[in-house]
Amino acid sequence: MTDTPIYIYASQQATDSVALSARDNLTGVKSTRLAMGAALEQAGMKISEIPLAEVHDCFTIEEVMYMEDSGFYNTGEAWKGIFDSYKDYEGLRHIPYVRGDAEVIVNPGGGLKADGHPVGATGVRQVFEVYRQLRGEAGDCQVESDGDLDAALCHNIGGTGGICTVHIFGRGA
């Protein structure tokens, strides 16, 4: 047993067609929207209540698409929110993306590209990063908080978005 357990609040997976030509929209990832909605419902949370996210950012645009598909930003607004956040918080180690009163820090350890995107192991690496963050054991990558880092999520996609898995973790029971 441990004095600092981390709980699984939600674990959901959704699929969409792997064929891009069969998708209804190429500016987002339907499997992310479906898995995220189901995970938030299972956890009984809103996206604005999750201050930390490990996001599948194999390409820069994937992070922008996630910010919209997750519901943190409305469609077409993520680029501006991200740009403004970088402008407003320049020089900080971790840049919080801001929307109204909600803030989220994305990929504090650098994300997939910083880790070499080990296909097949990416999701495990994300879970381990979130675990270390929630326990306060992330070393130089630790997100500073006033004790409000109580939940985090992992978002992983495969097959050009044909499948998405979302896990939400937290410190409370």
Q: Say which residues have a Cβ less than 8 Å from residue 158's Cβ, sequence separation at least 6.
A: 164
Question: Where do the domains of the chain lie, and which CATH numbers do they carry?
Answer: 7-170 (3.40.47.10)
Q: Which of 101, 103, 100 is nearest to 89 (CA)?
A: 103
Q: What is the residue-level pLDDT of the chain in tens, covering all 173 positions?
A: 788 899 999 999 999 988 888 888 888 899 999 999 999 999 999 999 999 999 999 988 999 999 999 999 999 999 999 999 988 888 888 889 998 888 999 999 899 988 888 888 899 999 999 999 999 999 999 998 876 789 999 999 998 889 999 999 999 86
pLDDT tens digits, residue range 19-62?
Answer: 888 888 888 899 999 999 999 999 999 999 999 999 999 988 99
List phi, psi (to 5°) of 86: -65, -40
Say if residues 169 and 5 touch (Cβ distance below 8 Å).
Answer: no
Q: What angle do CA 104, 33, 52 make, to 5 degrees?
A: 15
Residue 22 CA to residue 173 CA, distance in Å, equals 41
Which H helix or E strand runs over 128? helix 122-135
